Structures are given as structure tokens and as C-alpha cells.
A and B are shown apart, each in its own frame.
Chain A
């Protein structure tokens, strides 16, 4: 370790995290002004051409408007059929390989020694100064240690304890919804429910819960990382605010524990009671990274599955009839919603050596993007993949949670939240009607809805 690093590391233990982020922001701005960093260009939306008019090498699935313009299915189908492991050398995010078939994605995901998750798991990158460290973007063994420290919070045993609370909060939200009058489902249901869940998991001040959503949207929606709308300055400012709140929460929890308060099952408490992570706050980039990971992991994913399920049942109305006739299908439908929506389109890896995959040679150091959204529509693995079928056989065999050591840690919580939502919806409403077209998020990573107008009709009373 050189002297500068040593000083930096020592300093990190004494300088508050928000100050460090502010300093990093200052360095970033200076470097940008000096021309050391090029400003990442904004994405301007233009109509995306029909895929059949393009040469195969010109296909660029990193376009953040592909989902919004409903071109993603035809683009990925062409890649799956003609060039399942595809190289795009000129994207805004630099050159990258696309892996588009189910079996190939499984291969990449399973072989973490051939395909590293470091330093980022999205197609682009964050500014150097904000290169936070999170275990989703670490390889074993470091990954395993940090993941193990927080896994307990969302382990099935803990969830069993939380089921009553989740149901109570879901009921509270649904009981306040207007009847026979259009409203924005994304805002009133999906965001509200997921922010309540995140606040519970972190034991975060409940009245500030929407902040968690804002930070998570910032962290996952950078222009440079996923083609989103947020620029780096906004990101830095948000991260300063986030680190301030999380530092306060950390020390507050610590003080309460020292005063003899009974330990909860929230994530901060778990981090503080594990030897490997109890001093996490002294490693600011790891501290911020892992908390950001936990809120991003529980935010966009479940939120957009909550919206996507309603949308899917409107696109496939016979399935809603099927569901009403047999509510025991809810559990299976939840898996089908998660497949059909695939709330996160991709995960990125970097090849650690030359690898042959489906006839192509991926070179050591190349960026490899596994497109889960494409694998979940692969006709070779899934029967009639474009259809939403609530009693689909083997519905659990989807790619949305990923496979291997990085498999989604919160998968059981997500399934539980969605199951409860649908149980409570069916108990109340006869019709859940989507009005007009939903609006979509700009991103090549998050497959999300920014707005969806819904009108509810109550169930006829039993009497």
C-alpha cells in the first residue's frame, strides 16, 4: 500500500462520509472542467427503426428507448435467431457482447470464475469518484462474506414474521384507493407499497420513506450507467444526502443498541452485529454501495412487477377471468409476472479469460451483457414466451432473479409482497382496468413504468 492510500484509508475513518462524497464531487467537477473527463452525452429520443432494415452488426440493444418504443422484442428475437452471442463495437457505452439465449445466459451467470462481476453490473459505469462498492459487483470470496451478513433480513424465516405486517400495510394502501375514478397506479400503489417495505427493512424513519425511492431511482438511473435521465451532478448531490441519512441512522442504531435496546431484524442491525461488517461505516464506498444496493434491489424490481402484473392481466383478459375463478393460481402467477415483466433487463460481466460461447470468441477483458429480458422470451426454453399464462408449467424457471452466486437475495420477499398484493386485490376488486397506454422509464436496465392510469370497480357485495 502506498503512502497516499494509507493516508486516505486512515482519513476515511475520521472524515464523515457525506464530506467525503462532497470532496469526491469537487474532484469530479474539476476534472470535467479541465477536460480530463469527457461529459457523457445526453440521450435524445428518436424513432427506432424496424430491426429488419438493419445490418446485424448495427443492432444496438443498449438504446434506452427500446422498451418504451416497444421494439425490444423484435430486436432481441433477431439476435437470438441470427446471432445469439452478438458484438456491438460502437455503443455509447463502448463495445459489448450481448448474450441473448436462455441457455447461454445460464452458462455465463453460473461461471463466475470466467465472467467477473467487477467493477460494475450494469452496461455503463459510474464516475470514478463515485465507484461505490457493492457485493453484487464483487466476486467470491469477498462477495460471499458481505452477502452472508445481510441475507438473514430477507431469509424466509424472517419473512414469516413479517408477513402479517406486510399484509396490514397492503390493506391500508388498497383501502384508500378511489373507486370508479382513474388514478396513477404507479404512484399510489407500486411506489407507495415498495417504499413502505424498504423503510421497514432498514428501520428507516417512516415519514421519510419516499427519500429511499428517490435515492434508489438516482443510483439506478444514471445516463452514463444505464442510459437514464440523471446527470452526475444530481447523482453526487443525492448521494451526499443519502450518506448523511444513512450515517445518522447507523450511529443512532448503534447508540440504541448500546443503551440496551433489543436488536431488531433490520438490515443495519444485521450489519452491525456481524464481525465482517460491523465497521462498514469506516469504509465509505462499501457502506454507501451496499445500502444503495439493498434499496435499488427492493425498489424498481418489485415496483415494476406490481405495475406489470396489472398491465399483463389487461393485455390478456382471459387470464384475469381464469384468476378470478381460481385464486389458488396466484402463487404460480407471481412467478409468471416476474418472468413476463423481467424488471431488470440485464446484468453485465467481464470475461476473465478468452471464452468460446455459441461459436464466438469472447476475449479476456471484454464486456459481456446477459439480457435476461431476452432469455425470458427465448422460444428454445419457454413455450409461447410472449404470452402471459398464469398457470404456465414450470413458471419458476425464469431468469429474472439470475442464477449462480449472485442470484437475487430478495427473491422470496418479492414473491411474498406480490402474492399478498394479489390476494388482497382479488378480495376487493372486480375489475382493475388500465386506461390508455402506460408511460415507460428511459433506461436499458430498468424495464419500468413511470405512469399507468387504472380504474377500479369494487366486487359486488356478497349479501
Chain B
């Protein structure tokens, strides 16, 4: 069993167990990680599960798709490795991944 670490804007870390096949948004919500709202429930339609994937982990998660980019473009905190957590499906290859949360969700 691997784990993923979400780091809040204030530095608080939340290491959670990977559940393969679930989205990172769902895993964060199930584990009560604060800082993710998930208003649309996982449809890439609200932009409130924005995370910034740390360093080279973007190769494991892949880059944002077109639909996702459209929502991310509206976020002022957008970074080059920004993703919507609902669009990243967890795999065992993500063991050790770090995802940073922006100060605010839009």
C-alpha cells in the first residue's frame, strides 16, 4: 500500500493511503483533507479541487486535459503543474506523490 501527501497552503501535511481507481479528489474527501471543496462532485466543471502536483510527479499523473484546462484557466493561483484532483485517477505508481493545495479554491 502506497500513500499520497496533500500539503495545505499553511504547510499542514496529510498523508493518505492510495486507493487505486479512485480520484485524488475522492481520496482527499474520504480522508477529510481540508482545502478541497469539490462543488461539482467530480465533473471537472467547477474548479474547486485544484491541486498543484509537486515536482516531477506530473509525469505520473499526466497533464491536464482541455476541459480541465478551461476551468483551471479561471483560477488566479494556477501553476504549470496545476490539476483538478477529480481528474487524476490514483495508481500504485503514485506512491509518494505530493500535491499542494492553493490558498483558496475558486
List residues of A whose CB falls within 8 A of some B CB: 106, 109-110, 140, 144, 147-148, 151-152, 155-157, 394, 396-397, 401, 403-405, 407, 411-412
Structural contact, B41 and A397, CB atoms closer than 8 A: yes
With a cutoff of 8 Å between Cβ atoms, the chain A residues found around residue B41 in the complex are 394, 397
In the assembly, what is the distance between CA of A407 and CA of B106, in Å? 10
Whether B74 contacts A396 by the Cβ 8 Å rule is no
Known contacts A156-B106, A157-B103, A396-B37: A151-B43 contact under CB 8 Å: no
Q: How large is the interface on B (under 10, 10 to 19, 20 to 34, 35 or more residues)?
A: 20 to 34
Inter-chain contact A152/B45, CB cutoff 8 Å: no
Query: Residue among A144, A148, A156 with the most chain B CB within 10 A?
Result: A156
Task: Confirm or deny: B39 has a beta carbon within 8 angstroms of a beta carbon on chain A.
Answer: yes
Q: Contact string, B36-58, partner A, CB cutoff 8 A, digits 1/0?
A: 01111101111110000000000
**Interface SS of B by simple majority:** loop
Give the residues in chain A near B74, CB-CB below 8 Å: 144, 147-148, 151, 405, 407
Interface residues as binary, B49-88 with A (CB distance below 8 Å gives 1, 0 otherwise): 0000000000000000001001101101000000000000
Main secondary structure of the interface of A (DSSP, over half): helix
A412-B104 contact in complex given A110-B45, A405-B74, C-beta closer than 8 Å = yes
> Is B71 a contact partner of A405 (Cβ separation < 8 A)?
yes
Chain B residues whose CB sits within 8 angstroms of the CB of A106 once the complex forms: 40, 43, 45
The residue in chain B whose Cβ has the minimal distance to the Cβ of A407 is B46
A403 to B71, CA, bound (A): 10
Is B47 within 8 A of A156, CB to CB? no
Interchain CA distance A110-B103 in the complex, whole Å:
26
Which 9 pairs from chain A and chain B are nearest by CB? Answer: A156-B104, A403-B45, A396-B39, A110-B45, A397-B41, A404-B45, A155-B76, A403-B40, A405-B70
A155 and B70 form a contact (CB under 8 A): no
Question: Is B45 a contact partner of A109 (Cβ separation < 8 A)?
Answer: yes
B51 to A: closest C-beta gap in Å:
16
Question: Which residues on the A side are within 8 Å of B44 (C-beta)?
Answer: 110
* CB closest chain-B residue, reference A159: B104
Selected contact of B106 from candidates A109, A155, A396, CB within 8 Å: A155
A-B contacts, 12 of them at CB < 8 A, read A155-B104, A156-B103, A156-B106, A396-B38, A397-B40, A401-B39, A403-B40, A403-B46, A405-B70, A405-B71, A405-B74, A411-B106
